[in-house]
Structure 1
Amino acid sequence: MPSCFRSLSLRFVVLCLAATSLTGCSKKSPQRLYGMNCGICHHSGDGMPGSVPPVRGRIDIIASTPEGKRYLADVLINGLSGAIVVDGKPYDSYMPSFDRLKDEEIATILNWLSARGDTKSAPTLTAADIAEARARHISTPKVSAERAELHKKSLIP
């Protein structure tokens, strides 16, 4: 290989390593897990008006009750579809299941989002919470019904 290509490759590697260290995005970091799995649709957490609801500043509120934690685990394991209202705005979309991720990875993503909210001592979910949802495995219409019940109780903003 010509030396100019080796130099270019080395510069590329150095730039990639520098970017990774500056953003804190190691292979399994919460930010990277979110970005690779959730950020595709939810972007930086603000969603897309009319189609993808925001998650920033909401996960901590939802996770503040046992029912909310169960719902969040159910959404990530089973997916969600249909019309919902978030902060008074309608959304009609489909969120796929992320059951391909490990329980620890899902808990890591949810905990990272929870920590980005305003709740002091942000609530957390464990890998066991996710494993319980995985073992229960419910349909997306049941997840939607679960959400509707929590919304009626004002447990979902």
Structure 2
Amino acid sequence: MMRRLAILAATAGLTAAGHADAQDGATIYKRCAACHLANGAGVPGAFPPLKTDVRKLAATPAGRRYLALVVIRGVSGPITVEGKAYRGMMPAQAGLNDAQVAAVLNHVVRGGSAKAFTPKEIAGYRAGSAALNSAAVGRLQPK
């Protein structure tokens, strides 16, 4: 039975612990790269970079919630990233499930000191955010 569950999880892109694997995060990130670029550098004045500030945010409870909600609900400015103001809009990535959101966030913050995002953690943020729109998420950005 356990072997069958492990095979089903692997087929679904999950580890035996139920987490989406790093390769899935890299694959999912391809949809983000259209704006944030393949290396996460962003486009000055248009799309923020996904490097230093994102890793710092992932190391705090409020920052983790904010990052998850940016993916789940989208975000619209004004926001400040790496000292620069952005007033654009990122649409919600509504087609991603909790494991996929965790995987893409883990891909983006890799190399940082933050603990890994889990599908259970993402589910909690999703459950508590039904009333939020992208502008409300922008106002949640930790300073």
Contact 2:24 2:100 in 1 (8 A): no
Residues 1:82 and 2:87 aligned together: no
Cα offset, 1:128, TM superposition: 1.3
Q: Which residue of 1 aligns with 2:60?
A: 65
Q: How does 1:104-123 map to 2 (within 5 A)?
A: 104-117=99-112, 119=113, 122-123=114-115
Computing the radius of gyration from Cα coordinates, the structure with the larger value is: 1
* Partner Cα separation in structure 1 for residue 133 and residue 85 of structure 2: 22
**What's the TM-score once normalised by structure 2's chain length?**
0.75
Q: Which residue of 2 aligns with 1:143?
A: 137
* Partner Cα separation in structure 2 for residue 130 and residue 145 of structure 1: 19
* Partner Cα separation in structure 2 for residue 131 and residue 104 of structure 1: 9
Which ranges in structure 1 are unaligned for 5 or more consecutive residues? 1-27, 152-157
Q: How does 1:4-153 map to 2 (within 5 A)?
A: 29-35=24-30, 37-43=31-37, 44-117=39-112, 119=113, 122-136=114-128, 137=130, 138-147=132-141, 150-151=142-143
* Partner Cα separation in structure 1 for residue 88 and residue 115 of structure 2: 27
Q: Which residue of 2 aligns with 1:8?
A: none
Which ranges in structure 2 are unaligned for 5 or more consecutive residues? 1-22
* Partner Cα separation in structure 2 for residue 132 and residue 99 of structure 1: 16
Cα offset, 1:123, TM superposition: 2.4
Q: Provide the identity percentage.
A: 36
Contact 1:57 1:116 in 2 (8 A): no
The structure with higher relative contact order (CA 8 Å, sep 6+) is 2
- Whose helix proportion is higher, 1 or 2? 1
> What is the root-mean-square deviation of aligned Cα atoms in Å?
1.8
